[in-house]
Amino acid sequence: MKKLIAANWKMYKCRHDATQTIADLAAGLGRSVPADREIAVFAPFTALAASAEALAAHMPGKAVFLGAQDVYPAVEGAFTGEISPSMLLDCSCRFVLTGHSERRHLLGESREFVGEKTAFALAAGLDVVLCIGETLTEREGGRLEAVLGAQLEAGLANLPRDLEPQRLVFAYEPVWAIGTGRVAGEKEILQAHALARELVKKILPASYAKMRILYGGSVKPDNAAKIIGLDNVDGLLVGGASLQAESFAHIALA
């Protein structure tokens, strides 16, 4: 299973900056990606088309893929401000994020809505990175298993039949580690990833073992190698440290 190292640019970068970062990333990667790795860049909607062009120009045929940060679960229609799977595919996206904690907590997305998006995007041909993770209060209240279980149960409702395992990726992102500089400890990551794998097994017994589980939350160049070497960690989802090409290239090659 190839490790997936993903950059989540969140609400940063206009077209020029996105294009320049991709050019710098190509230089930082030495214009090639190790055979056991895939890389993804989750750009803001307005920079997707420019990012696709930059990827084609600077890293043609390389294992660097484009992703979007959100999607609406409908083909088209009167959904002001929303974006459809076909619009993302039209911009050369392979991936989309669903269930990011910033959308769950800042924008009030329910677990059920995350599940609708996940199933719809997969059926439409996008590969999905479904994010899960607990708040500090939930962790300290002993509710890690209950929270991840509920997020996975709702997030994986109504999946398309015969889903190829590599099309669905999970990202465990403890909310208390996102953008805080407080990375989860080795024991916490091992425990949560093993738990997530067990919970997915209950829902998708035929394919859980072949699905990737990424870790996200304050990943930096100096901790990436250690985290990616842990059991059940199949890649990284990087926020702040992905904004500079140099630090993201360092993480991608860790």
Is 240 near ligand 13P (CB under 6 A)?
yes
**78 contacts 87 by C-beta, under 8 angstroms:** no
Sole binder of ligand 13P in the list 33, 52, 224, 237 (CB under 6 A): 237
What are φ and ψ of residue 63, in 5° steps? -80, 55
Please give the residues from 166 up to 185 whose contact with ligand 13P meets the rule CB under 6 A: 173, 178-179
Binds ligand 13P by CB under 6 A, chosen from 4, 8, 39, 50:
8
Q: How far is the CB of 96 from ligand 13P (least distance, A)?
A: 13
Cβ proximity to ligand 13P, 155 vs 216, nearer residue: 216
Residue 155 and residue 115 in contact, taking contact as beta carbons nearer than 8 Å: yes
Choose one: 18-26, 109-117, 201-209, 231-239; the region binding ligand 13P (CB under 6 A). Answer: 231-239
Which of these ranges, 15-23, 47-55, 196-204, 235-243, lies near ligand 13P under the rule CB under 6 A? 235-243
68: tokens are 């979007």
Tokens of 36: 């056991």
Q: Is 216 in the site for ligand 13P (CB under 6 A)?
A: yes
Sign of the C-alpha dihedral computed for residues 97, 128, 29 and 175 taken in this order: positive
Active site residue 188: no
Q: Helices (DSSP H) in 66-143: which residue ranges?
A: 85-90, 101, 111-124, 136-140
Of residues 74 through 113, those in contact with ligand 13P by CB under 6 A are 100
Catalytic residue at 16?
no
Question: From residue 14 to residue 53, what is the string marking binding to ligand 13P with x (rule CB under 6 A)?
Answer: ----------------------------------------
Side chain identity at 40, as an amino acid letter?
A: A
- 211 burial type by CB count under 10 A (0-12 exposed, 13-18 middle, 19+ buried): buried
Pick 156 or 227: Cβ nearer ligand 13P: 227
Choosing from 38, 109, 134, 173, the catalytic residue is 173
Specify the residue, 98 or 232, whose C-beta has the smaller distance to ligand 13P: 98
Catalytic residue, chosen from 100, 102, 134, 250, is: 100
Q: Positive or negative CA dihedral for 139, 197, 65, 49?
A: negative
Give me the half-sphere count of Cα atoms (radius 13 Å) on the Cβ side of residue 3: 24
- Compute the distance between CA of residue 32 and CA of residue 88 in angstroms, rounded to an integer: 25
Catalytic (active-site) positions = 100, 173
Question: Which residues contact ligand 13P (rule: CB under 6 A)?
Answer: 8, 100, 173, 178-179, 216-219, 237-241
